Amino acid sequence: MENGLSVKGLRKSFGDRAVLNGVDFSVGAGELVVLLGANGSGKSTALRCVVGLAEADEGVVSVAGRELRGLTGAELARARRAAAMVFQQIHLVRRRNVIDNVCAGGLAGLPLSRSLTPALFPKDLRERAMACLDRVGLADRAKDRAGSLSGGQQQRVAIARALCQGAKVLLADEPVSALDPAAATQVMELLRELARNDGLAVAAVLHQPDLARRHADRVLGLLHGEIRFSTRGSDLSDVDIDALYAPDRAVAV
Partner 1 sequence: MSTRKYLTAAVVIAVLGVAHVFAWETTEVSPGALVDGWRGMARFLAEALPPDLDWDAVVRPGLEACLTTLAIGLLGTTLSVPAALLFAVLGTRGRHQVVYQVSRSVMSFLRAVPDVVFALIFVTAVGLGPFAGVLALICHNVGVLGKLWSEAMDEVDPGPTDALRVSGAREPQVIANAVLPAVVPALIGLLLYRFDVNVRSSLVLGLVGAGGVGFLINQSIQLFEFDQMATYILMVLVLVVAVDLLSAGIRRRLT
Residue ranges that bind ligand ADP, judged by CB under 6 A? 14, 19, 37, 39-45
Conformation bin of residue 115: beta by default, left when phi > 0, alpha when psi is -120 to 50? alpha
- Residue pair 162/113 in contact by the 8 Å Cβ criterion: no
User: Which one of ligand ADP, partner 1, Mg ion, none interacts with residue 45, CB within 5 to 8 A by kind?
Assistant: ligand ADP
Nearest distance, CB of residue 186 and ligand ADP, angstroms = 23
Q: Please report, as ranges, the residues that interact with partner 1 according to CB under 8 A.
A: 51-53, 77-78, 80-81, 83-87, 89-93, 95-96, 104-108, 110, 112, 115-118, 158, 161-162, 165
Q: Is the Cβ of residue 12 or residue 168 nearer to ligand ADP in the bound state?
A: 12
User: Which one of Mg ion, partner 1, ligand ADP, none interacts with residue 41, CB within 5 to 8 A by kind?
Assistant: ligand ADP
Q: Is the Cβ of residue 43 or residue 192 nearer to Mg ion in the bound state?
A: 43
User: Which one of Mg ion, ligand ADP, partner 1, none interacts with residue 116, CB within 5 to 8 A by kind?
Assistant: partner 1
Pick the closest to residue 163 from 194, 203, 126 (CA basis).
Answer: 194
Pick the closest to residue 212 from 194, 193, 237, 243 (CA basis).
Answer: 237
Q: Tell me how far apart the alpha carbons of residues 218 and 234 are, in angstroms, rounded to a whole number.
A: 8
Q: Which residues make Cβ contacts (< 8 Å) with residue 74, sequence separation at least 6?
A: none
Nearest distance, CB of residue 104 and partner 1, angstroms = 5
HSE-up of residue 198 (Cα within 13 Å, Cβ side): 21
User: Which one of Mg ion, ligand ADP, partner 1, none interacts with residue 92, CB within 5 to 8 A by kind?
Assistant: partner 1
Nearest distance, CB of residue 22 and ligand ADP, angstroms = 15
Cβ atoms within 10 Å of 181's Cβ, excluding its own: 11
Nearest distance, CB of residue 55 and ligand ADP, angstroms = 11
Nearest distance, CB of residue 96 and partner 1, angstroms = 6
User: Which one of ligand ADP, Mg ion, partner 1, none interacts with residue 19, CB within 5 to 8 A by kind?
Assistant: ligand ADP
Nearest distance, CB of residue 5 and ligand ADP, angstroms = 17
Query: In Å, how far are 130, 144, 206 from 141, measured between CA atoms?
Result: 10, 5, 27
Cβ atoms within 10 Å of 235's Cβ, excluding its own: 10
Pairing of strands 83-87, 66-67: unpaired
Sign of CA dihedral 3, 66, 172, 150: negative
Q: Is the Cβ of residue 87 or residue 245 nearer to partner 1 in the bound state?
A: 87
Q: Is the Cβ of residue 213 or residue 224 nearer to ligand ADP in the bound state?
A: 224
